[in-house]
Amino acid sequence: MTGTKKILLIQLMSNGDCLYATAVARQIKHDNPGCHLTWAVASFCKGILDNNPYVDAIKEIPDVNRNTATGIVRNLRREAAQQIASGELDEVYFTQIIDDNLANYDGSIRSSIFRGYGKPITVPVTPSLRLSTAEIEKAKNFADKYNLAGFTNVILFEFAPQSGQLAMTPALAMEMAGKIVENKSTAIILSSSLKIGDGNPKIIDGSILTLRETAALTHYCTMLLGCSSGITWISTSDAAKQLPMIQILDPDAYWVNPISRDFQRLGFSTDNLIELYVNNPEITTACVSEALTNGFEETRKKYFKPLPIQFKTTSRSIYNMLCFLQFSAIVKHIKVNISVFGWQPALIGEIIKGLVFAPFKLVYNIISKRLKK
């Protein structure tokens, strides 16, 4: 590879975030024709990159979790800096929203990841996913086995999100599924890594399919009931069928990533999207039922109320960055959010809250940890 530009992209997790970052990989290839791109990714997210045309090599990182990720990223960045100094590597890009990259967060995960690249994203941003023939065939066999073509409505239900944006139990999912399939022409696929089912032939266990195979399965579905996690975002990839979505989100989650905000920023239509910000099975099932009987457009008018802009993550991010004395990152975070939202009183309040109360919170946490020991 003499003379070939060597670039490292660090985006360890999660599956949805890695899907977003495939556009960054595509942009790197666009900006650096002929370069060799290596992607550093956690073992449990490695599969999302299989056959990706914009990635030349995978640097698989084991034992990554929320507690170890920051330390691992710092080691990778130090190692990359040494490789750049020695000529083994030419450039490194870090897009994960952790450590000092918390500065990039602007209320939308995808745009925050893009900001980590530091250059304009001009290529198509639809996530790149390349399925194998075997994965496509497995989804087809699944659809044939459960006679999905025999139903007017086939709902893919993402009920166990890893993003932390919704608290949903298997029992609650089954309760909701039971009510939804009272519509005789409707089947629902419970999609997660959890095996779940009660023998009702219209409530189908989707746990036997991988996340990638579930992307192929979207071509046999008519609607997605999701919660802005991996299944939602893989359904927006170029390997999937874009389904009408009803999304259930917790407005008080640490990271809130509304699909509507993401789509609006990127210029995508939200006409086939309804977002619910209350985890109430009666409201959700009523919304789904009305969408099936009255049509999506009319149901959207009744139920869709975009989440008001909130900035709770700002004070938390400032606290985290203060703990590591990342003052320039704090300044960047403030500038980023003011540039996006303007001088919103709620934003300014969270900035002040983060700066004023962070020292007290830090002392409290230190004392609490010592007392626990």
Residue listed under structure tokens 């962070």: 358
Q: Kindly list the distances between the CA atom of residue 320 and the CA atoms of 24, 102, 287, 335, 339, in Å, as whole numbers in the listed order.
A: 26, 9, 39, 17, 21
The pTM for the full model equals: 0.90
Residue 142 in contact with residue 135, Cβ under 8 Å? Answer: no
Distance CA 311, CA 351 (A): 9
* Joined tokens for residue 138: 């497995």
The dihedral formed by the CA atoms of 59, 63, 66 and 70, expressed in degrees to the nearest 10 = -60
pLDDT digits (tens, 9 = 90+) for 87-136: 999 999 999 999 999 999 998 999 999 999 999 999 999 999 999 999 99
The residues, ordered by sequence, that sit 6+ positions from 58 with a Cβ below 8 Å of its Cβ are 38, 39, 41, 46, 49
Buried b (16+ CB within 10 A) or exposed e, 84-117: eeeeebeebbbbbbbbbbbbbbbbbbbbbbbbbb
pLDDT digits (tens, 9 = 90+) for 316-331: 899 889 888 899 999 9
The full set of domains in the chain, from first to last, is 6-117 (3.40.50.2000), 133-303 (3.40.50.2000), 312-372 (no CATH)
Handedness of CA 117, 120, 121, 122 (dihedral sign): negative
Per-residue pLDDT of the chain (373 residues; tens, 9 = 90+): 457 999 999 999 889 999 999 999 999 999 999 999 999 999 999 999 999 999 999 999 999 888 899 999 999 999 999 999 999 999 999 999 999 999 999 989 999 999 999 999 999 999 999 999 999 999 999 999 999 999 999 999 988 666 566 667 778 888 889 999 998 899 999 987 777 766 788 999 999 999 999 999 999 999 999 988 889 999 999 999 999 999 988 877 777 788 999 999 999 999 999 999 887 889 999 999 999 999 999 999 999 988 878 888 898 899 889 888 899 999 999 999 999 999 999 999 999 988 888 777 766 666 666 666 5
| Mean pLDDT computed over every residue of the chain | 90
